[in-house]
Structure 1
Amino acid sequence: MDTIAIIGRIYQQSFDARPHLTLATANGTLSAIGDVVAQSLNKAFPEPNQRPIPYDIQRTVRFFCFGVGMGPIIGRWNQFLEHTFPLRTNSRSTVSMSALAKRVFFDQTVMAPIGIAMFLGSMGVMEGRSNSQLREKYSSLFFPALLANWKVWPAAQLINFRYMPLPYRVPFSQSCGVFWTLYLSLLNAKQDKAQDTNDKKRQTIDA
């Protein structure tokens, strides 16, 4: 417990001094951890007849960069929700369940689709995908990822918005999001593999 308290104190001090940098670093680190877990599981439990896949450090770097970019954006979004839908009118009032429900609703109908779209676009650009491949990625992955998001994140964000102080909401959501990043990482890698296979087939035909 002492270690957790020390880490929490260091994080709070860093957030107070440099909020955007702190959120970017924390979010990027946790996003990278999610991809490390995804690649480790892929290696430990390969598909039948699958060749051993070497660890892709560049893929983890891409997840780190995406997390760094999204951290301050999510932080600003949380501030917007905090001020637009206050849970209490004063320190002694009870928590407004209506305001809490509005926070979750707007988070899932506005930020969730934007976040998934930014993830697919950012990953595609960093991977060097063509415009047609980016469109294919969106077409194949956007709605499955969004539907999966709605099965998981409303409950997590309900806890986050209700109980977590504002500075800790991004780290909390991204800590829960390690498993979400695992899902996105596997989903994105599967689509990349399919696109790479199709590209090789086209090159063979053209040759």
Structure 2
Amino acid sequence: MPPAFLTNFARFYNTNFDRRPIPTLIITNGVLNTLADALAQTSTILLHKPTPLDPTPSYDPERTLRFAIYGMALGPLIGKWMRLLERSIPIRAGANGNGLQLAKRVLADQAVMAPFGLALFITSMGIMEGRDSQGIKDKFSDMYFPALIANWKVWPLIQTINFKLMPLQYRVPFQSTCGIAWTLYLSLLNAKDDKNLEPKV
């Protein structure tokens, strides 16, 4: 039996999701993205081995704010996408062919939302970082395909579990919770790319 606080939190979340789905998704995704970048920066600082030419980086709250804004904006979009998949590729309890329907959902998610979401991430981060169009193109060319390939190695399994086991209202939080590690990866990749794009002196 789950602890009482988890039961109470689930009840609180369900009530707010039913009454105010968009604000609930905005807050949930924003908090989880904030946590992911905070973990990424903290781990980088703790694991960094400083040298005279490469001192230990300091925590960048503006970067965390950018990730929070991105997460808040993405939450409702993912929610609408989940509802679209629910309507377009239904999976009914006990129905024949559910395995095929599940595979179709995962394929649609990875063929459409994964490439789009990653492009949106790189573009929005570039804009919030104040890059010009060429800077965004450079970031895109350096980050996009390595991150997309990494996505396809990890997310099909996660989304299979998500679509198969999670009720609709929990799919975005489940994806975002699993996405803490993914956002941590993107955060580190984004920071690494920023460093690579710095002018050499």
- TM-score when normalising by structure 1: 0.92
Q: Which runs of 5+ in 2 are unaligned?
A: none
Counterpart residue number, 2:59: 55
Q: How far off is 1:47 after superposition?
A: 4.5
Q: Which amino acid aligns with 2:80?
A: R
Counterpart residue number, 1:169: 171
Q: How far off is 1:131 after superposition?
A: 1.1
Counterpart residue number, 1:205: none
* CA RMSD across the alignment: 1.2
- Equivalent pairs, count: 197
Q: How far off is 1:92 after superposition?
A: 4.7
- TM-score when normalising by structure 2: 0.95
Q: Percent identity?
A: 47
Aligned pairs for 1:94-109 within 5 A: 96-109=98-111
Match of 1:75 among 67, 73, 79: 79
Partner Cα distance (2:154, 2:132) in 1 = 31
Partner Cα distance (2:4, 2:96) in 1 = 32
Q: Which amino acid aligns with 1:77?
A: W
Partner Cα distance (2:114, 2:148) in 1 = 7
Q: How far off is 1:194 after superposition?
A: 1.9
Counterpart residue number, 1:182: 184
Counterpart residue number, 1:110: 112
Counterpart residue number, 2:11: 9
Encode CA deviations 1:40-88: one digit per residue, 9 max, x unaligned: 1001101452312111111000000000000000000000100111111
Q: Which runs of 5+ in 1 are unaligned?
A: 202-207
Encode CA deviations 1:126-160: one digit per residue, 9 max, x unaligned: 00011111000010110000000000000000000
SS at match of 2:56: coil
Partner Cα distance (1:30, 1:60) in 2 = 11
Counterpart residue number, 1:84: 88
SS at match of 2:139: helix
Mapped pair 1:157 → 2:148: no
SS at match of 1:124: helix
